[in-house]
Amino acid sequence: MAMEEVKKSLWHAFDILDKSAQPQKVRTTQVHKTKLRVLTNNLGHILQVDSAETIWDKVTEDNVTFDDFMDVLSNNLLVGLAKLPEAKNATLKSEIDNLCWMLCERTYVQRIKSLNESEAEAERKERREFSSTDRFRLWKIFNFLCEQAEDGSVLTPLRIDVEETERIAVEICKAVGIPVLKPNALERRLSYSEGSFLLDFSEFVSLVAERIGDEEAVNVVGHGISEVSNQIISDVVRKGHLVKFGNKVTTWKERWFVLTATALRYYVSAEEKDLKGTIFIGSGCFTQSFPDRPGGKHHRFKLHTPNKQYELSAPDLRSKNEWMSDIKHVVNSVGSTGVSLQRLAWKERKKEREEKRRRTAEEEMRRVADREKLLDRERQLEEERKQRQLAQEEIKERERLLELERQKRAEEEEQRRLETSQLLEEKRKEIEDEKQRFADIEQRLKEEREALVASSQEALEAEREQRAQVEARLREEEAQLEEERRRLRELEEAKVSLEALVEEERALKRDEEIVRNLQSRILEEELLKREELEKLQAEQQRRLEEEQLSRQGLEAVREQQEEELRLAQETLEKIAWEREEADRQMREAADKLKQAERERQVLEERLRLKEMTTSVRLARPLDRPDPNPFVTHRGLGAFTEAEFQRRLPDSAAEGADSFDVNELSVAAKSLTL
């Protein structure tokens, strides 16, 4: 009895006692030893140990963990079980399983009901539950396929992988021939165990029921669960009908064969009640295929064992190849490890799942890294876009400041021009006023001279008298005139200075024009830089579009690969259909050959009867005139003349012979076809 399998069953009982002891139904991984006394007492009854519950008197702790519980049982109750015969171990294991299931069944049923009710509020109707026998078989399947450590030790709490659950549901549906529903809420199932791929027993049963479907499907899966349970627990590799050639009675008989990891058993029927024989599979066994021959069994192969040879015939070529392949697989696995074939297959599936999930995780990490790179690239582009926007805003601000400065300078220049023109106008008016005043003085002096010349003749004497006064006055006027001339010269100098100021103003304007040219050149350089920035932006936009196109190309390649995969799947389905059609045609051809063989045998019997009939005809009396036809070897009057003449005419006999020959030719043609 495998201790690890017993440990799995006992864990369920321990877990039920653990949760039932808590008001909130929370696992504490510890159970009070008083609750374990009843379980230990029942185990003692199974193992024929009296007062087994007294082993807990030696335990000082009140609360016991599962490991401590197993240590106590291993050191007291389960000692020496490994030395018992295999049949006895199997019986004890079955009784322990029944005990643990009896303790756990009611609690598990309540958990499954609560789980289904919480999920079926608005989308799923109520359906009938599995029977108690089906739940027990599912429980044993769960225990066999639950997760284990690398060294084969039990991992608690017991959990089963969700893909194993899906496979079990598919196998059950295939066994009874019902469709398998696709999982429409796998993410919800994964949330049972906080997002992992592992399910406990309640979740395992709920997911199997969900995949099976409606109430009618649940009612008919008992046979499928039984088949899957036998296949997994009993390590059944293959079942099916084969025709076996008898060793004692040399005839072909159809038998129901069951191939396990150690033997090939055959029964009278598929009920597997009447065992007719057992062929033990060892390392020295091998199979040998034979070609078909007319008139014999088809699809024959021979199983060689060290002691005997068995000739078998399969229903079709596919079944023959599958049987030979499975027997070869069993022979290769015998003696390699102590693990069953189902356990080896489970380990291979586990490796495949881990490898697939590892590849999926790596692909997801690569996709995340690609998304991060893309996001970094987009962030860089966004930063560059912002920098370009800031540069453009800075250029616009500088243009605005330059425009304001140009407007300010233009206003100042206009102000200076207005002031200069106003000053020049005032100076011009002053010069014109001075000229007008000087002209007035000249005119007055001229008029006075003329008046003096005119009056000189009349008042020469008075003039002489007044000459001194007049000369003094003239000198005074001359001084004033000189003063006026001096002022005129000053005005001329002021005019020259104003012209110099105007020339300086013009020079300033030329300098300002030079500054404007420099500013325009700087602005042109800024415009060139702006064009370069725009070109850089266009290049970056082009690269972004190329990346988007490349991404679209990758999406197109992925879609093309998916389409090719779909076409390949359709091709495989078509090939499978053609193969089934070929098998059907082969079966029809085999039936026709059997019918032709039967007709050939009938014709041979007819020919044999004909030959016998011909020999009888040769014994008829000759048609010779008999001098005394009424006398025979029996005496006078034994036959009459009419009795001698009661036979078929020669023409009728020839017609019968030709009819047999025609029938023979038709039968030969049908046999040839």
The pLDDT value given to residue 80: 66
* Residue in 8, 9, 77, 5 with CA at minimum distance from that of residue 48: 77
* Residue in 154, 173, 160 with CA at minimum distance from that of residue 213: 173
- Yes or no: say if 232 and 225 are a contact pair by the CB < 8 Å rule: no
Q: What is the pLDDT of residues 513-569, one digit of tens each?
A: 887 788 778 778 778 887 888 888 788 788 888 878 877 887 888 888 888 888 888
The SS3 assignment for 148 reads strand
Tokens at residue 186, please?
Answer: 């796998």
Neighbours of 311 (CB within 10 A): 17
Residue 383 in this model has a pLDDT that exceeds 60:
yes
Residue 219 in this model has a pLDDT that exceeds 70:
no
Q: What is the pLDDT of residues 586-639, one digit of tens each?
A: 888 888 888 888 888 888 888 888 777 654 444 455 455 555 555 555 555 555
Q: What is the pLDDT of residues 66-99, one digit of tens each?
A: 888 888 888 887 776 666 666 677 788 888 888 8
Neighbours of 10 (CB within 10 A): 22
* Residue in 131, 145, 294 with CA at minimum distance from that of residue 224: 131
Residue 268, phi-psi category: left (phi > 0), alpha (psi -120 to 50), beta (remainder): alpha
Neighbours of 264 (CB within 10 A): 25
Q: Distance between CA 255 and CA 310 in Å, rounded?
A: 13
Distance of CA 531 to the CA centre of its chain: 49
Residue 309 in this model has a pLDDT that exceeds 50:
yes
Question: Of 299-303, 323-327, 599-603, 650-654, which range is least confident?
Answer: 650-654
The pLDDT value given to residue 659: 40
Residue 648 in this model has a pLDDT that exceeds 50:
no
The mean pLDDT of the chain is: 76
DSSP letter string over 328-391? HHHHHHTTT-SS-HHHHHHHHHHHHHHHHHHHHHHHHHHHHHHHHHHHHHHHHHHHHHHHHHHH
Among 52-56, 113-117, 381-385, 536-540, the range of highest mean pLDDT:
381-385
CA 459-461-464 angle, to 5 degrees, is: 110
Tokens at residue 466, please?
Answer: 């007044």
Give the pairing type, strands 275-280 and 300-304.
unpaired
DSSP state of 303: E
H-helix segments, 146-182: 162-176
Tokens at residue 244, please?
Answer: 């076996």
Between 349 and 244, the more confident residue is 244
Cis before residue 179, ω within 30 degrees of 0?
A: no
Q: Distance between CA 631 and CA 640 in Å, rounded?
A: 9
The pLDDT value given to residue 633: 58
Q: What is the pLDDT of residues 422-451, one digit of tens each?
A: 888 888 888 888 888 878 887 887 887 777
> Quick one: CA torsion of 429, 432, 437, 441, rounded to 10 degrees?
170
* Long-range CB contact pairs, 324-329, < 8 A, 24+: 324/287, 324/289, 326/237, 326/238, 326/259, 327/259, 327/264, 327/281, 327/285, 327/287, 327/303, 328/286, 328/287, 329/237
The pLDDT value given to residue 650: 46
- Yes or no: say if 209 and 189 are a contact pair by the CB < 8 Å rule: no
Place of tokens 């076809």: 673
* Residue in 91, 36, 38 with CA at minimum distance from that of residue 64: 36
Query: What does the pLDDT average to over 642-663?
Result: 45
- Yes or no: say if 298 and 275 are a contact pair by the CB < 8 Å rule: no
